Amino acid sequence: MSQRASARIASVFLICLAAISSAQPVMACSVCYGDPNSPMTKGVEAGVLVLLGVVGTVLLLLASLLLFWMRRAARLDEAGGSVGQASTAWTAESRAGS
């Protein structure tokens, strides 16, 4: 390791050490402090439930899309064709007709 890289690592270490040693205690808000009847706590709980609902809905929609694709692929496989072959044949027919 070069001398310049060693100096850079040492300076980063000293900066991190200074930041950790100069930390000040902070005052907690009513949510963090634990007042369960606070309007802020009730709002945070409602927000968490809304976000869980949004994430659950998106995951459900993605799962249903995957299931749709799996069923569609199975139907195409049973029919013996593929989307690529069908579109190529259609393109060739349309060129011949014009």
Question: Which of the pair, 69 or 37, is modelled with greater confidence?
Answer: 69
Best CA proximity match to 30, nearest among 22, 20, 38? 38
- 44-71 pLDDT, tens digit per residue, is 889 999 999 999 999 999 999 999 999 9
Best CA proximity match to 29, nearest among 9, 17, 43, 15? 43
d(CA 77, CA 50): 41
pTM of the full predicted structure?
0.48
Answer yes or no: are the C-beta atoms of 38 and 31 closer than 8 Å. yes
Answer yes or no: are the C-beta atoms of 76 and 83 closer than 8 Å. yes
pLDDT of 24 reads 79
Helix (H, G, I), strand (E, B) or coil at 1: coil
Q: What percent of the chain has pLDDT over 90?
A: 34
d(CA 43, CA 52): 14
d(CA 31, CA 39): 9
pLDDT of 29 reads 67
